[in-house]
Structure 1
């Protein structure tokens, strides 16, 4: 039986991004990485760390007088959960309306169009 999905907020995802880029890290490292780009206070960042710990999205290992934090939730797993949630909530669980929306409202580069064609060809070859 699989574990229920871990739901993380937008703010928590910023902390996760820091840990996905490099882990393990101390809280001081994480604070230093997030202070300037977010404008958050140190206490806010440490609160987010504690929330993520409580949710099981990250783990902490004691290293002397400090803790080293590492992600337990993989980025790919989170992306899958978030994309499925968006698809279900906004597009009725269907991929075609999502692609239609983006093709009509976003400018796709020639490279992106070529990548989509390759993806569709790969799907056709698999028989899906």
Structure 2
């Protein structure tokens, strides 16, 4: 898959379960999310179907059960979310985003040193 589709906030809950326990049935996803989110089983199944239509999830059928698995990695989705956020909020200008985060974020000396090391490694 070349382009990773955007995943809604609700779909992220489903994907996190599937990335951790793939392949998994819809009922197992429902059990995993039970008690953490107040969704009805039908809502979860609808979200799974939506992810299949988006080609983010694939499935195999064994008897009467459908086993779902991810067609994209969590890292691909995170990268896509980061890129979309950067474009939407900061017009694609990374420096603007970084400056805004650094200006409003309390950082320890250790965190500042880690950021410096990341930047130093980037220019090498």
TM-score when scaled to structure 1?
0.89
Distance 1:111 1:58 in 2: 39
- The yes-or-no answer on 1:4 pairing with 2:3 is yes
Distance 1:117 1:53, change over 3 A: same
Give the Å deviation of 1:79. 1.1
How far off its partner does 1:5 sit?
A: 3.0
Residues 111/21 of structure 1: CA separation in 2 closer, same or farther (3 Å cut) = farther
Across the aligned residues of Structure 1 and Structure 2, the Cα RMSD in angstroms comes to 1.4
- After TM superposition, list the pairs within 5 Å mapping 1:58-73 onto structure 2: 58-73=57-72
1:105 equivalenced with 2:121 (yes/no): no
- How far off its partner does 1:120 sit? 0.6
How many residue pairs were aligned?
Answer: 124
Give me the TM-score of the superposition, normalised by structure 2: 0.91
Look up the match of 2:15. 16
How far apart, CA to CA, are the structure 2 residues paired with 1:27 and 1:109?
43
Deviates more, 1:100-109 or 1:115-124: 100-109
Higher relative contact order (CA 8 A, sep 6+): 2
Q: Deviations over 1:65-121 (max 9, x none)?
A: 201110102111111111111111111111111111111222224443222111111
Structure 2 equivalent of residue 79 of structure 1: 78
Helix, strand or coil: the match of 2:36?
helix
Give the gaps of 5 or more residues in structure 1.
none
Please report how far the alpha carbon of residue 4 of structure 1 lies from its aligned counterpart in structure 2 after TM superposition: 3.4
Secondary structure of the 1:49 match is helix
SS at match of 2:14: helix
Please list every run of 5 or more consecutive structure 2 residues that lacks an aligned counterpart in the other structure: none
